[in-house]
Structures are given as C-alpha cells and as structure tokens.
Amino acid sequence: MNVLEVTDLTKKFGGLYANTNINMSIKKNSITAVIGPNGAGKTTFFNMITAVYKPTSGDILLNGKSLVGLKPHQVTKFGIARTFQNIRLFHDLTVLDNVLVGMHHHLKSNWVGALFQMPRTRHAEDNAKKEAYQLLEYVGLADLLNESAGNLSYGAQRRLEIARAIAAKPKVLLLDEPAAGMNPKETKKLTDLIHDMRSKLDITIVLIEHDMKLVMEISDYIYVLDHGEEIASGKPDDIRNNPRVIEAYLGKGAVANG
Ligand SMILES: Nc1ncnc2c1ncn2[C@@H]1O[C@H](COP(=O)(O)OP(=O)(O)OP(=O)(O)O)[C@@H](O)[C@H]1O
C-alpha cells in the first residue's frame, strides 16, 4: 500500500523549474531516499510536501487525501513531520521543552485551563512530560533533558530534531540531510535509529541525503533528481550502476572514462 503518492508535481520559481513533473509512490513502512546533486530540487520537493511552498501543479496524496492547499500545521496534523537541513531548534529552551513544543498538536489542554492551573490541564502536562522523556530516552538524550538545546553536540542536535518531529506522531517522517556534519560513529547511531523508527514506531521514512554509503545501506528505494527532473528510480543496486546517475554526480564522460 502506498502511504504517499506524488503525481506530476511541479514547482516554478519565475523562469526556473525547481521540480518538473515529479512522480513518486512511497510504500507504507518503507525507507525511501531522494538524492541528487546540489540544486537538484530535493528540498523544494520536501517544501511542497510540507506546504511551505504551494505546487505550481500536480498533487500530493497522503493515504489517498490531497494535501495541496493545506497550511503547514494542517499537514503536520494529517501526519507528516520533518527535520531541516539547517537544524531548527529553540537553542535557549531545554532539550525537554524542545520535544514538548513538538507535541502541542495533540495536547488536550487549553489556555483557560493553563491560566487557572486546572487539574485536567496539569494532568495532560504531566503526561506530556512523561512522553517527552520517553522519546528522549528512545533517541538516547534522556541524560541531557535539562540542558539548553544550543549546548548539544551537532549529532545530538540532529537526534533532538528527530525526537521533536516524532513527538507529533507522524505517519511519514521527512529527514532533510540527517547525517550532515556527523562523524562515522554518529552516522552509525543514526542508521540504527532510522531502522528502529520504521520497525517499532510504524513510521514511513523519506530522507534527503548526500552520504551515499548511508543511502545505499538504508534505503528500500531511491529516487534521483537532477535539475528538477526525476532521472532515475529503483533499488540501491540499480541506482548505484545507473549511467545517468553516475553522469549527474560526476559529470559527462564519467561513465565512458570509468
Ligand atoms: N524560494 C526560492 N526562490 C527561488 N529559487 C529557489 C527557491 N528555493 C529553491 N530555489 C532554486 O530551486 C533550485 C532547487 O533548489 P533546492 O534547494 O530544492 O535544491 P536541493 O537539491 O535541495 O539542493 P542542496 O542539495 O544544495 O540542498 C535551485 O536552483 C534553487 O536556487
């Protein structure tokens, strides 16, 4: 079953086609990579899925329902969460509070309750804190819950972004360059976490990534973009040996020259 279906998705910025007629069918519970050289249109693609940009044309279906025309917070409510290429955390807030921010979509308290510290509100808050703590344990950051997010190492900040994203209980998680800036040990931990989220949390994962070792190791399926167009798609072994993909990454002549 396809959880996410993208048909003829196009985004034009003035005269530039950042995405041209992109088609993707993403299976439930799969790990899919979207790769391509710099400027290929990968982040634009994520920005359309999450309603940061409105598509020029085409459709995006989550479990059969169109997301086009929704606001970003509505897309989150529908079940899509993401992390960003440039980490976006509240640096002055604690690690725990950063996760609580990610939970606000499904917290039941209201402002009247919060103002008068009503028991039901307090109860909801206590539960949220418990859940946030469990999520931090899950990503390996429970020891740092009271630390300011800005003081964390790069790898830990990326894991905190993931914890915040999964706090929204998404069906689909979009990871934009999750391994960027990580050392090999951190990348290994990330690989394990991605596998675990798919199996234990029943999440479908789509990632943009430049680390080809990680992409080839982790992906069930790969889509390759170049200059806004989809130039190939397939399983890792098909993509690894695809002449068009090699050419897009290494330039013309790379295939002929070996
Ligand atoms: N808001 C915008 N306005 C105008 N052009 C844009 C905008 N966002 C992206 N672009 C252009 O669209 C093209 C695709 O950019 P995009 O950021 O999607 O590529 P990318 O594959 O994510 O690149 P990278 O791997 O470097 O992050 C680029 O030519 C970029 O300059």
Cα–Cα distances (Å) from 153 to 49, 87, 88, 148, 258, in that order, read 29, 12, 14, 11, 39
Q: What is the pLDDT of residue 193?
A: 95
Query: What is the rounded average pLDDT for all residues in the chain?
Result: 90
CATH topology of domain 1-79+170-258: Rossmann fold (3.40.50)
Q: Would you say 50 and 25 are in contact if contact means Cβ atoms under 8 Å apart?
A: no
Q: Quick one: which atom of ligand 1 is closest to the CA of 45?
A: 18
The residues spanned by each domain of the chain are: 1-79+170-258, 88-167
Q: Quick one: which atom of ligand 1 is closest to the CA of 37?
A: 25
Nearest CA to ligand 1 atom 29: 39
* 258: confidence class by pLDDT, cuts 50, 70, 90: very low
Q: Quick one: which atom of ligand 1 is closest to the CA of 53?
A: 1
Q: What is the pLDDT of residue 102?
A: 80
Distance from residue 226's CA to the centre of ligand 1 (Å): 11
Percent of the chain residues past pLDDT 70, beyond the cut: 90
Distance from residue 13's CA to the centre of ligand 1 (Å): 9
Q: What is the pLDDT of residue 250?
A: 73
Q: What is the pLDDT of residue 257?
A: 47
By most ligand atoms within 8 Å of CB, the mutation choice from 38, 42, 44, 50 for ligand 1 is 44
Distance from residue 103's CA to the centre of ligand 1 (Å): 30
Phi and psi at residue 202, to the nearest 5°: 60, 40
Q: What is the pLDDT of residue 128?
A: 87
Residue pLDDT, tens place only, 51-97: 999 999 999 999 999 999 999 999 999 999 999 888 889 999 999 99
Residue pLDDT, tens place only, 212-223: 999 999 999 999
Q: What is the pLDDT of residue 225?
A: 97
List 7's β-bridge partners, or say none.
Answer: 59
Phi-psi category of 153—alpha, beta or left, where left has phi over 0 and alpha has psi -120 to 50?
beta
Residue pLDDT, tens place only, 181-208: 889 999 999 999 999 999 999 899 999 9
Say how many C-beta atoms besides its own lie within 10 A of residue 101's C-beta: 15
